[in-house]
Protein backbone atom coordinates (compact mmCIF):
# COMPACT_ATOMS: atom_id res chain seq x y z
CA UNK A 1 0.00 0.00 0.00
CA UNK A 2 2.83 2.41 0.85
CA UNK A 3 4.51 1.86 -2.52
CA UNK A 4 1.16 2.28 -4.32
CA UNK A 5 0.81 5.68 -2.59
CA UNK A 6 4.22 6.87 -3.81
CA UNK A 7 6.49 5.80 -0.95
CA UNK A 8 9.85 4.17 -1.48
CA UNK A 9 10.34 0.95 0.52
CA UNK A 10 13.84 0.07 1.72
CA UNK A 11 14.36 -3.52 2.89
CA UNK A 12 17.27 -5.86 3.46
CA UNK A 13 18.02 -8.11 0.48
CA UNK A 14 18.71 -11.03 2.83
CA UNK A 15 16.49 -14.06 2.18
CA UNK A 16 13.74 -14.96 4.66
CA UNK A 17 13.13 -18.51 5.93
CA UNK A 18 11.16 -20.62 3.46
CA UNK A 19 8.59 -21.66 6.07
CA UNK A 20 6.72 -19.50 8.57
CA UNK A 21 5.33 -15.99 8.40
CA UNK A 22 8.16 -13.49 8.14
CA UNK A 23 8.40 -9.91 6.93
CA UNK A 24 11.77 -8.34 6.22
CA UNK A 25 12.42 -5.23 8.35
CA UNK A 26 12.20 -2.03 6.37
CA UNK A 27 11.25 1.59 6.21
CA UNK A 28 9.47 3.94 3.84
CA UNK A 29 10.81 7.27 2.58
CA UNK A 30 9.19 9.85 0.30
CA UNK A 31 5.83 9.36 2.01
CA UNK A 32 3.11 11.98 2.31
CA UNK A 33 1.85 12.67 5.83
CA UNK A 34 -1.65 11.62 4.72
CA UNK A 35 -0.42 8.26 3.37
CA UNK A 36 -1.51 5.00 4.95
CA UNK A 37 1.96 4.20 6.32
CA UNK A 38 1.95 7.51 8.22
CA UNK A 39 -1.63 7.27 9.43
CA UNK A 40 -1.98 3.69 10.69
CA UNK A 41 0.08 1.73 13.19
CA UNK A 42 1.77 -1.09 11.32
CA UNK A 43 2.38 -3.95 13.72
CA UNK A 44 5.49 -5.27 12.07
CA UNK A 45 9.08 -4.31 11.42
CA UNK A 46 8.17 -1.39 9.14
CA UNK A 47 8.58 2.34 9.80
CA UNK A 48 8.05 5.60 7.92
CA UNK A 49 10.97 8.03 7.90
CA UNK A 50 10.08 11.68 7.37
CA UNK A 51 12.03 14.91 7.64
CA UNK A 52 11.32 18.12 9.50
CA UNK A 53 13.06 21.48 9.88
CA UNK A 54 11.98 22.68 13.33
CA UNK A 55 10.95 21.08 16.62
CA UNK A 56 7.46 22.57 16.17
CA UNK A 57 7.15 20.87 12.78
CA UNK A 58 8.27 17.56 14.33
CA UNK A 59 5.54 17.80 16.99
CA UNK A 60 2.95 18.67 14.34
CA UNK A 61 3.95 15.61 12.28
CA UNK A 62 3.96 13.33 15.33
CA UNK A 63 0.53 14.49 16.50
CA UNK A 64 -1.07 14.32 13.03
CA UNK A 65 -2.46 10.80 13.43
CA UNK A 66 -5.45 9.14 15.07
CA UNK A 67 -3.13 6.85 16.97
CA UNK A 68 -0.42 7.51 19.51
CA UNK A 69 0.64 4.36 21.28
CA UNK A 70 4.28 5.37 21.71
CA UNK A 71 6.87 7.89 20.54
CA UNK A 72 10.64 8.02 20.65
CA UNK A 73 12.48 11.35 20.61
CA UNK A 74 16.17 11.44 19.76
CA UNK A 75 18.15 14.59 20.53
CA UNK A 76 21.57 15.78 21.63
CA UNK A 77 19.84 18.44 23.74
CA UNK A 78 17.94 17.06 26.75
CA UNK A 79 16.05 20.34 27.24
CA UNK A 80 14.69 20.21 23.69
CA UNK A 81 13.81 16.52 24.13
CA UNK A 82 11.93 17.15 27.39
CA UNK A 83 10.00 20.04 25.83
CA UNK A 84 9.01 17.90 22.85
CA UNK A 85 8.08 14.93 25.05
CA UNK A 86 5.55 17.07 26.91
CA UNK A 87 3.96 18.16 23.62
CA UNK A 88 3.77 14.83 21.77
CA UNK A 89 0.42 13.09 22.24
CA UNK A 90 1.39 9.46 22.90
CA UNK A 91 0.76 6.89 25.60
CA UNK A 92 4.46 6.69 26.36
CA UNK A 93 7.37 8.83 25.14
CA UNK A 94 10.96 7.63 25.29
CA UNK A 95 13.97 9.93 25.03
CA UNK A 96 17.08 8.63 23.27
CA UNK A 97 15.85 5.05 23.54
CA UNK A 98 12.89 2.91 22.61
CA UNK A 99 10.81 0.18 24.20
CA UNK A 100 12.16 0.74 27.72
CA UNK A 101 8.94 0.14 29.62
CA UNK A 102 8.46 -0.84 33.24
CA UNK A 103 5.38 -3.07 33.29
CA UNK A 104 4.42 -1.58 36.67
CA UNK A 105 4.43 2.01 35.39
CA UNK A 106 1.26 3.89 34.50
CA UNK A 107 0.37 4.14 30.84
CA UNK A 108 -1.74 6.56 28.84
Secondary structure (3-state) at 64: coil
Look up the pTM and report it.
0.75
Over residues 24-73, the pLDDT tens digits come to 999 999 998 888 888 887 878 888 888 999 999 999 999 998 888 889 99
Residue 25 is predicted with a pLDDT of 92
C-alpha separations of 94 from 33, 83, 85, 86, 89 in Å = 22, 12, 8, 11, 12
DSSP string covering 65-104: SS--SEEEE--S-HHHHHHHHHHS--SEEEES-SS---TT
Average pLDDT, the chain: 90
Q: How confident is the model at residue 23 (pLDDT cuts 50, 70, 90)?
A: confident
Amino acid sequence: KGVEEGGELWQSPNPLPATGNYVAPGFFTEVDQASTVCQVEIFGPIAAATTFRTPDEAVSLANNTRYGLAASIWSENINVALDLAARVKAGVVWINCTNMLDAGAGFG
